[in-house]
């Protein structure tokens, strides 16, 4: 089961994501990134974090330790922003913490240029994402970090942030376990992921016993909204049943058609051009949200 700790000092909020997690110190002297139960994403994002993160660890992928964090909003009474204080007030009680990786770097396209990834390792990560329908590990938002263990070992890939996975639990009973999803924009597609080898290696390891042990780590309170007239254990069974069915149908959803970096660049350029053609004149002067410059039809570049 996940360890339980108590937050003793609030350090800072992290504003890189919509859920505004916070960095805290706890009574075990550890430092954690806490995802709060009161965030707009709700309990299901935390359920996905636990299930996918613990499954990743069980399959030998690097993922920071998860803990249950008892959080008293009074610990963060000095937070100056009203909205963040409101989030803390709504999150009193048990929240989810992820071990903080000091000095880790996000895997951006620039970092990826210089960081080699073995095709089998890439394949394992893509396979996990395809199994759990994690739609948020793309070339624009990798949710991967490079971290040198203790500053001595060579930098290695670490997985983070799986709150957007398990999309089927937002519409129980309406999604085919064998459904394919588009992973062409996956952050590791450029490395030629060997997903067939990963499937042969990992699929036999995802058993009902493994899945049942993982879903047992999710607190009952986070499953209550799906329990209906049943129990939290009924919901746990539903997660285990769905993922086991999806494993058995892997030939139907296994992603293999990854474009080359050049093909991706061409697709993005075509998509950007199509978007700009449909913009009103006043918006054609505005750079897009990814920081790329605005380009007029005559080739003029506006840096904004």
* CA geometry: angle 220, 226, 88, nearest 5 deg: 60
Q: Which of 112-121, 138-147, 290-299 has the lowest mean pLDDT?
A: 290-299
- Give yes or no for residue 166 having a pLDDT over 90: yes
State how far the Cα of 249 lies from the Cα of 272, in Å rounded to an integer: 35
Q: pLDDT of 2-17, one tens digit each?
A: 999 999 999 999 977 6
Predicted TM-score of the model (pTM):
0.86
Cα separation values, 166 from 77, 94, 136, 175, 247, Å: 34, 22, 11, 11, 13
State how far the Cα of 232 lies from the Cα of 251, in Å rounded to an integer: 31
Q: How confident is the model at residue 279 (pLDDT cuts 50, 70, 90)?
A: low
Going from N- to C-terminal start, the domains of the chain cover 3-99, 105-253, 261-302
State how far the Cα of 24 lies from the Cα of 12, in Å rounded to an integer: 7
Residues 6+ apart with CB under 8 A from 22: 10, 11, 12, 13, 14, 33, 34, 36, 76, 84, 88
State how far the Cα of 185 lies from the Cα of 29, in Å rounded to an integer: 39
Arithmetic mean of pLDDT, 260-264: 77
Q: 265: burial class by Cβ within 10 Å (0-12, 13-18, 19+)?
A: exposed
Q: pLDDT of 204-228, one tens digit each?
A: 999 999 999 999 999 999 998 888 8
Arithmetic mean of pLDDT, 276-290: 55
- Give yes or no for residue 276 having a pLDDT over 90: no
Q: How confident is the model at residue 152 (pLDDT cuts 50, 70, 90)?
A: low
DSSP 34: E
CB atoms within 10 A of CB 291: 7
């Amino acid at each position: 089961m996940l360890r339980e700790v108590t937050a003793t000092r609030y350090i800072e909020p992290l504003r890189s994501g919509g859920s505004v997690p916070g960095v805290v110190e706890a009574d075990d002297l550890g430092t954690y990134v806490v995802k709060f139960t009161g965030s707009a994403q709700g309990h299901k994002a935390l359920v996905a974090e636990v299930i996918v993160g613990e499954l990743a660890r069980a399959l030998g992928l690097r993922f920071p330790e998860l803990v249950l964090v008892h959080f008293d909003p009074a610990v963060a009474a000095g937070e100056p922003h009203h909205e963040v204080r409101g989030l803390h007030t709504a999150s009193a009680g048990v929240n989810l913490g992820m071990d903080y990786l000091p000095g880790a770097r996000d895997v951006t396209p620039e970092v990826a240029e210089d960081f080699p990834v073995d095709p089998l390792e890439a394949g394992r990560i893509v396979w996990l994402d395809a199994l759990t329908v994690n739609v948020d590990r793309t070339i624009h938002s990798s949710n991967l970090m490079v971290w040198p263990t203790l500053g001595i070992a060579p930098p290695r890939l670490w997985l983070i942030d799986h709150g957007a996975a398990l999309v089927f639990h937002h519409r129980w009973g309406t999604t085919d376990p064998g459904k394919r999803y588009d992973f062409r924009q996956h952050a590791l597609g450029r490395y030629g992921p060997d997903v067939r080898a990963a499937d042969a290696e990992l699929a036999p390891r995802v058993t009902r016993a493994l899945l049942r042990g993982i879903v047992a780590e999710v607190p009952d309170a986070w499953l209550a909204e799906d329990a209906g007239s049943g129990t939290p254990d009924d919901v746990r069974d539903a997660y285990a049943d769905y993922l086991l069915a999806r494993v058995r149908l892997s030939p139907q959803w296994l992603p293999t058609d990854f474009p080359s970096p050049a093909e991706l660049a061409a697709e993005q350029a075509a998509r950007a051009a199509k978007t700009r053609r449909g913009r009103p004149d006043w918006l054609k002067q505005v750079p897009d949200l990814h920081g790329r410059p605005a380009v007029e039809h005559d080739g003029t570049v506006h840096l904004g």
